[in-house]
Amino acid sequence: MADPAAMARLNTLLEGVDFTPPSPAGKEDWVYRDIPLVAKRYWHFLTKELLGEENYMFIAGTDRGDSVRGQLFISPQGMKNLSAFNALPDEERTARIPE
């Protein structure tokens, strides 16, 4: 278990620190997103089908065999695609996600 005093000191040191990388040149309207660890089939669905390959820029990530996590910049169109998907009824969203 973490030492609460040490965690408080760390939080104080990190307060106000922005870990978001700067947007790529010419793509200042793209947004940064940190994608949590997900199964590869979900990662591929997100990047290839939902966002569209031209609508994201991969920054860094971790491949753990059958799961992946990573950081992306997403274009305005990619964010619209994501918002439209999130606006679907639960049943419809679930039906589109690969098994």
Q: What is the mean pLDDT of each run of 10 residues along the chain (99 residues)?
A: 74 72 87 93 93 94 93 95 93 88
For position 47, what pLDDT does the model report? 94
For position 24, what pLDDT does the model report? 84
Distance from the Cα of residue 61 to its chain's centroid: 10
- What's the residue count for the chain? 99
For position 17, what pLDDT does the model report? 67
The beta strand positions in 1-99, using DSSP E, are: 31-39, 56-63, 67-74
For position 4, what pLDDT does the model report? 81
For position 10, what pLDDT does the model report? 73
For position 98, what pLDDT does the model report? 82
* CB of 66 closer than 8 Å to CB of 39: yes
**Which pTM does this prediction carry?**
0.76
